[in-house]
A and B are shown apart, each in its own frame.
Chain A
Amino acid sequence: MPDTLTPGGTASATPSAAPTRTRASRLRDFWSDFGRSPVALVSLAVIAVLAFVSFGAPWVTPQDPYDMANLDWMDAFLRPGTVGSGGYTHWLGTDNAGRDMLSAIFYGLRTSFVIGLSAGALALMVGITVGLTAAYFGGRTEALLMRIVDLQLSMPAILLALVLVAMLGQGVAQIILALVVAQYAYFARTTHGTATVERGKDYIEAARSTPLPTWRVLLRHLLPNVLPPLIVVATVQVAAAIALEATLSFLGVGLPLTEPSLGSLISNGFKYIHTDRTWLSIYPGLFLMVTVVAINLVGDRVRHVLDPRNQR
């Protein structure tokens, strides 16, 4: 390991003797470094709690807000903290149909997570495929693929998603597809950048001159070495996908109110923003904000820990 230096005359030297470490101990090191930031730990805990209550919504909420049989018109527009006809407290109030807002938010959060995670995972796969293909084959393939990616990155993702949803129609699958198309470019860019660097390294040349088949070089050598920076992009993009979906639903082109998401809840509440029934939009908005910020903070910490410049 060479001495590391920063330009401008200041220098720091690191002894070359790195202790030998196993994969398990590196994972331990990762967590101990991660845990050095209380903010990141709290964020991770928040995400865990939100994931638990949303995926466990049928068991932790007092009512299924989308089963019409459970709703009572008499409970409409109850203020937060009021006890309704079901005999339990509506901690975050109820909406115009008498839905318990807390239950609706938990169910909505579940939809948001499902859409964010599946869109993120699919966009990751598409982006890796495009980025790796471009980086490995180079030439015209690379020029063509990366120009399309650049073109997409130059316009706002929300615009592209809006157009796509308008074309595809409403529904969870359509939204996910629109988000994948709008977001894969970020993964493709990052993959392409990292893969271009890795492709130039001797271990790839060694594999090609053995020779190993192209698929083997791509999947067993190049792919594992471009993954780490993508983990960071993935966390940020999951948060972005959740926010994008909420925006689409808020604008009325995403999910209908019968398929709840945080966006459609905010949208519904927005109709009453000029009355005193502000709880209808503020609480789902708060949950959306906390979710997105927590995911981003965790992603930020992961990036910091994985950055070799911050490693001891």
Chain B
Amino acid sequence: MTLLSVSGVSKRFSRKPGILGRALDRITGESSAQTVHALTGIDIAVPRGEVLGLVGESGCGKSTLGRIVSGIYTPSDGSVTLNGKPVARMRGGNVQKLTTAVQMIHQDPFASLDPRMKVGETISEGPRLHGLWSASEAQGKVRDLLEQVGLEGAYANRLPHQFSGGQRQRIAIARALAMEPELLVLDEAVASLDVSIQAQVLNLFMELRQRLNLTALFISHDLSVVRHVCDRVAIMYLGRVVELASAADLYDAPQHPYTKALFASVPTLGTGRAAFQPIEGEIPSPLDPPPGCAFHPRCPFAGPRCRAEVPALKPAPTGVVACHLNDGGTELGKTAA
């Protein structure tokens, strides 16, 4: 059963020139308005109970997608629904979130907790304001949640600066769980933690997932972490999904040239010195993406068709892949029947 449905979602951020800029534009006859195509035509369905990984490098749009699903942004095109109902809408120029069933956990626990609010209030304010908890039960619920995430109940009266990074991330998880969410969005949730602490938080996540049957979007750049906790993985490049498959298939038999190159370029522990193959070239700017397949300037297999035509996501031996190699070849004029 599909819980989260993302269909045809695109997101453009445009920077409009100010009064002075518009005057300059009139003089020069050029437009200084810039549009970043952060996401283009994203279709993803997440069934209840699944953890879907979103993987990619900077500019791939994974965090933007996470924020759209969390109701912080609204898509420029397309829709995001949870149980068939929209997550957010625009009202009076501001985004209005319509559900409490999606909760987000940010990357940096030093920034995501209000430094001047006690931990107990940080956790309880959401459920209290939305009527999930009564005033009398709030204290006990906070204590339970803190214990669930491996902290002491008595910590409720402390301020965030008294905690280490790992402990703060546990508090952020408790805050999200307090809203009894159906979907969690974890945006690089372990990336800023120390290696030894990262394992603790990953274990906590896996345990809570089992116990509460959580559904989650797990956004990360760390391939080994994603493989460890995700059921399916979407690889993103410059605003599009280029490959989506089960974690096991993706890691055993990557299909897209970018996925393959990404795996080869990451140093892994215990494989010895220089056992990795870096990808050539730079990540293109989303302000000025290359025509055709965005990966073609760095792709060793690129042909004329890759420079002209954007590949669509098509079923592959495992999962779906957006690559002309999987769809009739890289020569122009040849398309699959």
A206–B104 contact, CB under 8 A?
yes
Query: Is B100 part of the binding interface, using a Cβ–Cβ cutoff of 8 Å?
Result: yes
Say whether chain A's binding surface is mostly helix, strand, loop, or mixed: helix
Which A residues lie within 8 Å of B125 (CB)? 210, 212, 216, 220
Pick the contact of A210 from B94, B103, B116 — CB < 8 Å? B103
| Cross-chain contact A210 with B126 (CB below 8 angstroms) | yes
- CB within 8 Å of A: which of B186-226? none
Hey, which chain A residues are within 8 Å of B94, CB to CB? 137
Q: Once the chains bind, are B129 and A216 in contact (CB under 8 Å)?
A: yes
Instruction: Quote the shortest CB–CB distance from B118 to chain A (angstroms).
Output: 10
State whether A205 and B106 are in contact (beta carbons under 8 Å apart), knowing that A220-B117, A224-B116, A225-B115 are contacts in the complex: yes
Interface residues as binary, B136-177 with A (CB distance below 8 Å gives 1, 0 otherwise): 000000000000000000000001011000000000100100
- Complex contact B108–A205 (CB within 8 A): no
Check A225 against B114 for contact (C-beta < 8 Å): yes
Q: How far is the CA of A221 from the CA of B162 in the complex (A)?
A: 18
> Which residues in window 1-42 of A have CB below 8 A to B?
18, 20-23
**B111–A210 touching, CB < 8 Å:** no
Tell me whether chain B's interface is mostly helix, strand or loop, or mixed: loop
User: Which of B102, B104, B113, B126 meets A212, CB within 8 Å?
Assistant: B126
Count A-side interface residues using an 8 Å CB cutoff. 24
**B70, CB-defined interface residue at 8 Å:** yes
What residues on A are CB-neighbors of B175 within 8 Å? 206
Q: Are B97 and A209 in contact (CB under 8 A)?
A: yes
Q: Does A87 contact B (CB under 8 A)?
A: no
Q: Which residue of A lies closest to B70 (CB)?
A: A209
* Binary contact readout A189-226 vs B (1 if CB under 8 angstroms, 0 otherwise): 00000000000011101111111110010001100110
**In contact, B112 and A202 (Cβ under 8 angstroms):** yes
Q: Cβ of B131: which chain A residues have Cβ within 8 Å of it?
A: none
Question: Do the beta carbons of B117 and A202 come within 8 Å of each other?
Answer: no
Q: Are B72 and A20 in contact (CB under 8 A)?
A: no
Query: Please, which residues of chain B bring their CB within 8 A of the CB of A220?
Result: 114, 117, 125
Nearest chain B residue, comparing its CB with the CB of A216: B129
Q: Across the interface, do B97 and A211 meet the contact criterion of CB distance under 8 Å?
A: yes
A203 in contact with B114 (CB, 8 Å): yes
B interface with A by C-beta (< 8 Å): 70-72, 93-94, 96-97, 100, 102-104, 106-108, 111-117, 125-126, 129, 159, 161-162, 172, 175, 179
Q: A203-B112, A210-B179, A224-B117 are in contact. List 19 more A-B contacts (CB 8 A).
A: A18-B161, A21-B161, A21-B162, A202-B108, A202-B111, A203-B111, A203-B114, A205-B112, A206-B104, A206-B112, A208-B97, A209-B72, A209-B103, A211-B71, A211-B97, A220-B117, A224-B114, A224-B116, A225-B115
**Nearest 7 CB-CB pairs, A to B?**
A202-B112, A202-B111, A211-B97, A210-B126, A202-B106, A224-B116, A20-B162
- 6 A-B contacts, Cβ less than 8 Å apart? A202-B111, A203-B113, A210-B103, A210-B126, A211-B100, A225-B115
